[in-house]
Amino acid sequence: MQVMCAMSGGVDSSVAAALLRDAGHDVVGVTMKLWGGPSDKGCCSVSDVLDARRAADLIGVDHHVFNFGDDFTRDVITPYVTEHQAGRTPNPCIECNRSIKFARLLERADALGFDAVATGHHVRLVDQPDGTKRLGRAADMAKDQSYVLHMLSVEDLDRVLFPVGEMTKADVRQVAADLGMRVAAKPDSQDVCFIASTTSRQEFLGDRMSFTPADVIDREGKVVGHVESVQLVTIGQRKGLGLQGGGPPQWVTDVDVAGQTVTIGNRSDLLSAFVDVDEMVWTGGAAISGDLLAQTSAHGTARSAHVDGNRVHWSEPNERVAPGQTVVVYHDDVVVGGGIACRDRD
C-alpha cells in the first residue's frame, strides 16, 4: 500500500513512518510548512523540518515538504484572532488538525494517488460491527489525542493509519533509540506553535486586533477591578483582574465583550449543570443522545453526562466551559462526536 506519512519532526511520527516501512508499505514522508512567522516550538519550526528529513533519510524513505502556509493563515490564524475579538477562547490546534493536517493532507494524498495517510497521533482505530471504524483512545492514556481528532468522519477514518496508537510513549522512544534516531529523546511539542517563546498571546493578538478595556464586576454588579483587554480574559481565570488582595479567591464566570464587563464569583458560581454546544459533529453522521462521557480539554477527565441534542447535562455540576472551547463526547473509550461550547442559551 502507498502511504503518505505526515512527519512533524517528532519521535511519534518518525517511528510511525519506520513501522509502516517495516510492515512492507511504500512510504513517503511529508512535512507541512504551515507558519511563516517566528516559531521555536510546536511543529512549525525550521528545526522540526530538519529533524523530519533526517529521520526519513535514516529509515530510507523519500521526504517532501508541502507549503500550506496560506491555508494555515486562512483556516487557523484568522479564526483564532476572530474568536478572541468576540471574547471566545479558541483551540487552534483542533482547527489545524481539522482543516490542514487531515483535510488538506488527505486532499493532496488523493491527488497524488496514495492509498492512505498516516500520522504519529496516539489514537486507535476501532472496528465496528457494520464494518466501519471509529476513533478510540490510545493504549497510552497519558498521551491520548482522541480529543483533538474528534472531528474525523467515518470516511476519513477509512483512509488514515495511526501506527503508534497501540504503543506506550516509552515503547515509541525505545524503538526510536534502537533505530538510532536523533529524536528518540526529543520532548513533546507544547503550546501553540505559532506563538514563539519570546512573545506572548497578548503580543501576537495585539499585532492583529485592537483590545477593549473592561470593568470587573462581582455578582451584585459592583465594580471591583479593571482589565485592559477583555478579549484576553477567559472563564475560570483568577489572575490579572486588577482585584485588591486579601479577599477570598475569585474566578471569572462570564465575559461580555460588547458590554465591556468581566463578572467574577466564588467557586460555586463557576459550576454549572450543563454546557450548550454549537457546530456539533457526530462521527457516524447521526446525532446520538443518552448517558455518555464528555471531555472539555485535551488533557482533562471525561465526565459522566446525559447528552440531549446540543446540550450536555453533567451528572454532577462541572466547571463552566469557556465559549470557544471544544466538548468531545465518548461512548466508553470511543469518540462519538464533538462541538464548540457557546454561551448558555437559558
- Backbone angles phi and psi of 97, in degrees to 5: -60, -45
324 and 80 Cβ atoms separated by less than 8 Å = no
Nearest CA to 298 out of 261, 270, 325, 266 is that of: 325
- The one catalytic residue among 5, 44, 93, 96: 96
Distances (CA, A) of 20 to 15, 24, 345: 9, 7, 47
The C-alpha torsion from 250 through 254 and 255 to 259, rounded to 10°, is -110
Task: Confirm whether 96 is a catalytic residue.
Answer: yes
Q: Which residue has the cell 512527519?
A: 7
Asked if residues 33 and 65 have their Cβ atoms less than 8 Å apart, the reply is: yes
In the chain, which ranges are continuous DSSP H helix? Answer: 11-22, 46-59, 69-72, 78-85, 92-96, 105-112, 154-157, 169-178, 201-206
193 given a catalytic annotation = yes
Residue 148, φ and ψ in degrees, nearest 5 = -85, -5
CA triplet 133, 135, 136: central angle to 5 degrees? 115
The three three-digit cell numbers of residue 27, written as one number: 512510504
β-pair partners for 134: 126
What does the H/E/C string look like for 199-220? CCHHHHHHCCCCCCCEEEECCC
Angle at 126 between CA 120 and CA 131, to 5 degrees: 125
Which residues share a beta bridge with 341? Answer: 277
- Written as nine digits, the cell of 91 is 483551540
The C-alpha cell at 260 is 465591556
Secondary element (H or E) of residue 174: helix 169-178
Grid cell for residue 149: 481528532
Enumerate the active-site residues.
96, 193
